[in-house]
Amino acid sequence: MTKEERKVILASSAGTIFEWYDFYLYGSLAAIIGAQFFSSFPEATRNVFALLAFAAGFLVRPFGALFFGRLGDIVGRKYTFLMTILIMGISTFVVGLLPSYETIGWIAPVTLIILRMLQGLALGGEYGGAVVYVAEHAPNNRRGYYTSWIQTTATLGLLLSLMVILAVRSWTGEAAFAAWGWRVPFLLSIFLLGISLYIRLQMEESPAFQKMKSEGTQSKAPLSEAFGQWKNAKFAVIALLGLVAGQAVVWYTGQFYALFFLQSILRVDMYTANVLIAWSLILGTGGFIVFGSLSDRIGRKPIILAGCILAAATYFPVFKFITATANPALHAAHEKTNVVVVADKDQCSFQFNPTGTARFTSSCDIAKAQLARSSVNYTVENAPKGAITKIRIGSTEVTAYDAGSLSGDAARTVPAEFTRTVNAALAANGYPPPGAANPTTVRMNHFFDLFNKQVFPLVLVLTYLVVLVTMVYGPIAAALVELFPTRIRYTGMSLPYHIGNGWFGGLMPATAFAMIAQSGNIYFGLWYPIVIAMMTVVIGVLFVPENKDKDIFSDNDRT
């Protein structure tokens, strides 16, 4: 690797790490930020803001891919991802300065939503630009290795955001962090922006784009050429379903869903859960480089599809091991306590609620949601049509209620009494209390508190999940670059990547929770990544070409 090539990788990777850092901050601190900006509004208005914030985080990324992808194929790679990092950095810094609702009223939440949408759009354009830029500097036989450095950036950005948040939280204390300390990680992003801008301004345009520009072969309409002509559009569809969808669910399961499962299902405290994930990222991130380099020798497709197969084959035993190790009392309760929901199944909804704004009011939905929040495994028996749902916990029976029929004092007292009764029945039948009241739950006293019988095996198995992430994600950039010709490469690869990761991956926690509530099994949500990963294996084997030896400078016909 030449000095210039190292500089290309450093410039692209450093900037992209900082972009992911900026993007993850909001997701990690959403609850605190919501209290600052949304809590003063009526419920309906809060719901709209929550929906917009969610959309900015995941759903608008493909639109950023379209806008900046088109720009990158017309104007150039370098100037486009200079623009994306500038938008991301300034937007993130301004979030840290933004006055709360109490200071400037409705302008605060509206401005916050606009900034979030700018972040989502910028991220939609950043990844494709960085990957294409590096790939077009790489030798044909080292493209997987070179682009794998970009693949580390999402994980390193997540790790950096977790570390900064943990450090600031420890420094300020919980009360001060909720009041003002949450702003510090956002404000620090201005220094990261300065560093990445300085590095990127030193760079030249990619040689493939320069060659195309000098020959006058640029696309004048990249969007219509990439997606309006079937000879190119079919590769976007193949890339989405035969590569990216499976990669996305494995990536989100190994990092985000593992964290969600620890915190929301197993009730591990926030500090311990974040440190466990941080250690798995530290130990596993090198896999991106290993598998990216390996893909130059044996191909992109075998490694990505093997990662999907391994994930599908091992997720159930891995997550059951995590439960038994992180919360042994909960695991024991699952084994010995029989819980049954007796309900009119026509009243039971699929509780898909990615924004937290939907209301499920039937007695069946209320009973299932209560048990799902308490991480209870249960079965369902059919009741007569129109019957109020009952929960049998061992020998105890608890009657649920229809929230739609409650108002006034009843709307407050009945749910509280129902929750207390269910929790008491669960406790009497062996279910542990949540959080710190459960002495068997894994707990870390400090960052290096690794070597005890719960923490060490958890770090190892979480690292295994990250290794699966590196298998599917390490070679994906090179695989996507090689599917599209230079003239539409930025546009063509960015859209399937961000639809796959923003929609298939980003919706995973909400979909998995709905599946858990629907089925009564805390592991049932794992069928979501397993089915999609296996779909990708089938489509990938049948339709995805292996292009590791393709000369992307010549734009020859695909092989």
- Between the two ends of the chain, the Cα-to-Cα distance in Å is 27
pLDDT of residue 155: 84
Based on the domain organization, do 19 and 109 belong to the same domain? yes
Based on the domain organization, do 277 and 355 belong to the same domain? no
- Domain end marker among 382, 403, 429: 429
The CATH code of the domain that includes 343 is 3.40.30
CA dist 339 and 391 (Å) reads: 7
* Pairing mode, strands 390-393 and 339-343: antiparallel
Nearest C-alpha neighbor of 496 from the set 247, 225, 239, 305 = 239
* Stretch (H or E) spanning 398: strand 396-399
pLDDT of residue 173: 87
Based on the domain organization, do 308 and 357 belong to the same domain? no
pLDDT of residue 14: 77
- Domain end marker among 150, 183, 218: 218
Residues 459 and 278 sit within 8 Å (Cβ to Cβ): no
Q: Which domain holds residue 550?
A: 230-336+435-559
Q: Is the dihedral of CA 234, 236, 239, 241 positive or negative?
A: negative
pLDDT of residue 390: 94
**Secondary structure letter of residue 509 according to DSSP:** H
pLDDT of residue 48: 63
- Domain end marker among 365, 397, 429: 429
Ranges of H-type helices in 98-142: 101-104, 107-135
Domain annotation covers residue 530: yes
The CATH code of the domain that includes 200 is 1.20.1250.20
Based on the domain organization, do 209 and 239 belong to the same domain? no
Based on the domain organization, do 197 and 300 belong to the same domain? no
- Give the global pTM: 0.85
CA dist 418 and 423 (Å) reads: 9
pLDDT along the chain (559 residues), means of 10: 76 77 76 76 63 69 85 81 86 89 84 86 82 83 90 86 88 88 91 83 75 74 81 89 94 88 89 90 93 94 96 97 95 92 89 70 89 90 91 91 74 79 92 82 90 93 96 93 86 86 80 85 94 96 90 55
CA dist 200 and 32 (Å) reads: 33
Domain annotation covers residue 253: yes
Nearest C-alpha neighbor of 189 from the set 122, 283, 107, 272 = 122
Count how many domains the chain has: 3
Nearest C-alpha neighbor of 137 from the set 209, 199, 198, 80 = 209
Domain annotation covers residue 225: no
pLDDT of residue 55: 63
3-state secondary structure 49-104: HHHHHHHHHHHCHHHHHHHHHHHHHHCCHHHHHHHHHHHHHHHHHHHHHCCCHHHH
**Token pair listed for 399:** 């009657």
Nearest C-alpha neighbor of 326 from the set 531, 529, 156, 522 = 522
